[in-house]
Structure 1
Amino acid sequence: MTSGSDPSSADGQDLLARLAAWAAAARVDEAAAARSRERWLRQAADEGASFTGVLLDLAERGAPVVV
């Protein structure tokens, strides 16, 4: 009996193909999530740096600030 006529071999190949597709989709999802996290962290750092810069400028001028 050849492997091409073995029904369990075809089922195994189908399972492997579906598993490979699932794994590829999971990698794509994880990469997108990682990019999103990185963007959010960069944005938060930029906003924090801007706020710190404003406070430093106000302190250098001796301007009163109420938070």
Structure 2
Amino acid sequence: MSAERRLAASSEGRVNHLLTANETATELQISRTTLRRWARAGYFPRPTYIGRRAFYEPQQISDFINKQKS
């Protein structure tokens, strides 16, 4: 299943979970360091923290990808 299909499935409520920083970076084909820098710079949405771990909402990733395409 492609990244966009997984993200679309999650935004439709079929999958309801947060993605880790590793999963998010993999979906975007970037490093975790780049993901962290983008979030700090405001280029990408900031994560939700649970304890010390960063999580991202699939809808945020989908919105970011769609914004980059347009």
TM-score (norm: length of structure 1): 0.22
Q: Greater RCO between the two (CA within 8 Å, min separation 6)?
A: 2
Q: Report which of the two structures shows the higher radius of gyration computed on alpha carbons.
A: 1
| Greater share of strand | 2
TM-score (norm: length of structure 2): 0.22
